[in-house]
């Protein structure tokens, strides 16, 4: 059992949990919690290694059945690695998922200056559930592999193509798409827009909304109707309402 925080793999896992520059340099991420680790493995992604604290029947059973490289660590070491107040007993180190963007996108989500990790993770989880086939992050968004984003995303990072792109690249990607911008002040209701053709939806940041580049790219602005006393929706809530309306119109799957 590893009992020292000076261990090289412990130090790597801790760095991946706390430093965006380490995640970029190593090309790896740390997934904390059995559900995230198990979902990533089920999606066909093999971890470089797993660190776990023995004693949980569910975690021990997963480790014993998986035949993955798993190293037992003390509870004190796990507390050092963990990004949560209550460590979840298992951390897996994986290569950063890099699913290829579709050559001919049909349903794309563009995120502009989204800085709240919880919101971004929730939006990614919603995008996966709504069948979005690409998510592009414009400059100014929070690191999509931040531990809080990973936890809120609930495995979406391993199911939906995700890429950070500059605005010229985003514009090229969206050339064949009808681009809508979510704007609480718009006159066009989200359920009156035409979602039958290939589209892209821009969701702006929590504080100041979408920026000038997003506004320039948008071909139409849409709003979710709300009671008069409500000024706006949370970014994640707005994304969910609009994305599922788009899929309702287009039909499933």
Which of 100, 99, 95, 101 has its CA nearest to residue 45?
95
**Whether CATH 3.30.1330.30 fits 8-95:** yes
Domain edges within the chain: 8-95, 107-250
Decide: pTM greater than 0.75: yes
Q: Where on the phi/psi map is residue 252: left (φ > 0), alpha (ψ -120 to 50), or beta? A: beta
Per-position pLDDT tens, the chain of length 253: 999 999 999 999 999 999 999 999 999 999 999 999 999 999 999 999 999 999 999 999 999 998 899 999 999 999 999 999 899 999 999 999 999 999 999 999 999 999 999 999 999 999 999 999 999 999 999 999 999 999 999 999 999 999 999 999 999 999 999 999 999 889 999 999 999 999 999 999 877 778 999 999 999 999 999 887 677 789 999 999 999 999 999 887 6
Same fold for the pair 8-95 and 107-250: no
Given this model, what pLDDT does residue 252 score?
Answer: 75
The sign one gets for the Cα dihedral 83, 53, 86, 36 is positive
Residues found in the chain: 253
Q: 3-class SS at 101?
A: coil
Given this model, what pLDDT does residue 253 score?
Answer: 66
Q: Domain spanning 107-250 has what CATH number?
A: 3.40.1280.10
**Rounded distance between C-alpha atoms, residue 130 and residue 84, angstroms:** 28
Q: How far is CA 166 from CA 139, 163, 174, in A?
A: 6, 10, 12
H or E element, residue 163: strand 162-164
């Amino acid at each position: 059992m590893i009992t020292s925080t000076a261990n090289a793999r412990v130090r790597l896992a801790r760095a991946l949990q706390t430093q965006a520059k380490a995640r970029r340099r190593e090309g790896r991420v740390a997934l904390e919690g059995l559900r995230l680790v198990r979902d990533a493995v089920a999606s066909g992604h093999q971890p470089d290694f797993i660190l776990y604290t023995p004693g949980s029947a569910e975690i021990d059973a997963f480790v014993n059945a998986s035949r993955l490289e798993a190293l037992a660590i003390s509870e004190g070491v796990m507390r050092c690695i963990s990004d949560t107040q209550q460590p979840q007993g298992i951390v897996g180190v994986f290569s950063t998922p890099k699913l290829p963007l579709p050559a001919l996108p049909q349903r794309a989500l563009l995120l502009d200056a989204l800085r709240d990790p919880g919101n971004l993770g929730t939006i990614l989880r919603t995008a996966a559930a709504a069948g979005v086939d690409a998510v592009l992050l414009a400059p100014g968004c929070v690191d999509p592999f931040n531990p809080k984003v990973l936890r809120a995303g609930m495995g979406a990072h391993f199911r939906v193509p995700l890429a950070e792109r500059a605005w010229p690249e985003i514009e090229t990607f969206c050339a064949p798409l009808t681009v809508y911008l979510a704007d609480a002040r718009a006159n066009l209701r989200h359920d009156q827009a035409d979602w039958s053709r290939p589209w892209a939806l821009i969701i702006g940041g929590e504080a100041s909304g979408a920026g000038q580049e997003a506004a320039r790219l948008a071909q139409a602005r849409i709003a979710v109707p709300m009671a008069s006393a409500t000024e706006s929706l949370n970014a994640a809530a707005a994304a969910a309402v609009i994305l599922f309306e788009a899929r309702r119109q287009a039909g499933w799957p």
